[in-house]
Structure 1
Amino acid sequence: MKHIVILGSTGSIGKNTLSVVETHADEFKVVGLAANRDVDTLEQQIRRYRPALVALNEPTAAAQLRERIRDLNCTQVLAGTEGLQTVATMPQASQVLDGMGGSAGLLPTLAAINAGKDIAFVNKEVMVMAGPLVNAAVEANGVNLIPIDGEMSAIFQCLEGARDPKADIHRLLITASGGPFREVPKEALYSVTPQQALRHPNWKMGQKITIDSATMMNKGLEVIEAKWLFDIELSKIDIVVHPESIVHSMVEWTDGSTLAQLGPTDMRIMIQYALTYPRRFSTPVPRLDLMEARTLRFEPVDFGKFPCLSLAYTAAEVGGTLPVVLSSADEVVVEAFLDTCIGFMDIPAILARVMDAHEVISDPTLSDILEVDRWAKSTARSIIKNHVRSNKKSMG
């Protein structure tokens, strides 16, 4: 039986992971759980799965949780970044699933790798911010780094068995649904509301990643992630719009052949494969019916309508700490959009300003990355504050 830790257990990835665990209860045991602040959901999970250790990133939430589970003697509650890292490095766990979004997952993931844990991860920001450091830690500790995100998992599966993938790959084709605004003219995007942006046509995801899908920042971050995860040149990574989201991504080889991974839009397939790798178990997910799907469309990306993509390619080309700035500032800017402080098309405009203000560190240390993460978020908040103040003045 494999003992696992789930970081981000209260989010959509965490909940789907627990569904996989229940489907194969004889294969997995949950020994640790961690989340940001959702006390109610984590309490329910503790009472159901009885993990030995849990952590909440917010200390006040952790204190509240301790009071709620005083009747249980089996679970210890920790708090803050140190608590997350302690859960991620539990001696009895052999694999850590990182479902935490954003920069919060960086330190726990690195800690888990350095503790010799295999990693299943959906947090692309970890690779975007610190790809070289993560890769060095994975190699030094001899652990598996297995992606869960649909596109990265698809490429990972297509590369299985390849003797020299770096030499034999012609290009990686990362598919994109196009989000809710694929057919919306650019002019209309200036009046988009958060409610409209959260209506993804194919996937049920958390708010942050759903907005990133609407701006197509999600694809931009995946380009940077793929560069490090698969050790491949940026020039060999392309994005193609595929509205049906049935082909999750493709690998085109030098001989002209292309391998694709197809499946229904259900994250449990990717999660389970990461947990059972290299084996495959049955799932309760409905099978893909190509006779029902019938048509699979592929379209070019409109870089003019989705400027976040160009920002991501620029960050990838420049490298160093610029991807950190992009990823970290995006967390703040998306939150501001969800809070209706800024407009939809203000997202790329503000991100560009933060990137322009940054002095890139070419070969950053972990300390550099953490400092730039703080700087980018602070700078983004300052620009947003001035933006809101300016709008109020112009209105009255």
Structure 2
Amino acid sequence: MSLLRSERFPAIVLLIAAAAGLIVANTAAGPAVDEVMHAYVGIPGVFELSVSHWIKDGLLAVFFFVVAVELQYELTNGQLNSMRKAIQPAIAAAGGVIVPIIVYLLIAGGSDAVDGWPIPTATDIAFALGVLAVFGKGLPSALRIFLLALAILDDIVGIVFIAVLFTSDVNIGMLALAALAVVVFGVLSRTLNRGNRWVVGTLLVVIAIAAWVLTYLSGVHATIAGVALGLAMAQRPALHTRHTLEPWVNGVVLPIFAFSAALVVIPSVSPSELSPAFWGVLVALPVGKIIGITLAGWVSLRVGGAGAAPHLSFADLLAAGALGGIGFTVSLLLSELAFTDAPELRDQATLGVVAGSLISLVLAGVLVSWRAAHHRRRAATEVSA
């Protein structure tokens, strides 16, 4: 389990899972696997979802719960618990959202792929921190803190996009019941102690499932239930639950999602025939993120004032920008949601996410290695002096 709590290994597993999905989809086994993904599972006539929807709406809700618990901690006790701490990564995150959208719209605006503009706005925390762990020995802790805050803020934007843009025909009654279930969950979690942990813990699980079902039935994307529950839960049991779930999320939830999302048949067409959805995401992730995060982060150093945030050089921000272009998890989900009714566009956008993230991965590895070597030499010089 300790291996799945590390920063390196989960990123490797996620990459292997995505590659496996892409390979399987383009072999003779592809149609059979696709059929399994579209098979319905559940209580017949009561509550049934396809395997694909169980993964996207069910398993990913657990991932978003874990993200929300981390967000709750950072907002109250961590790196985002004051405006002074949050100002630099917040401005950089804004640049890392706005510029990729602009780049995407410059390429895909006016086409049938215009609805895919939210796709390149996300950063994959697991991958970004994994690259830092592999290539970043010797980097200052300020860069890791900056990147973590940046990625969390990016996730907030992704969550807002999912909640606002991809919700239709909301059933207010079901949504109200879901909100009530979340409130009860939050209140009950504050009564949890050693003496009643089995009884209360079981009730919490039942209420969490009820909140998820009610959210799904309300028409709001069901992953939002995971976010709401993670933010509502009392912090101490929430952190304990996050610690328990972390290896399962890293070793099961995210790899299964990456595999299923990457089940895309590579089209046998020339590059000129590929959709703007592909080119928009492919360019917006590595180019839009690195420009947006670097320039906005550089501006934030001047806006924040002295002592507003840990000092990072322009070159450090360049490495952070490249890391921000690794989209994967949330970007893959956004591509599914943006083109739900257009499978061909969805598949090409998914290919764009995979390819753009891989370009960012390679670029980030080079830049992070370069900055790490620089900081190691600097530290050695200071010691010898």
Provide the TM-score with structure 1 as the length reference: 0.25
Per residue, is there more strand in 1 or in 2? Answer: 1
Higher relative contact order structure (alpha carbons within 8 Å, sequence separation ≥ 6): 2
Provide the TM-score with structure 2 as the length reference: 0.26
Per residue, is there more helix in 1 or in 2? Answer: 2
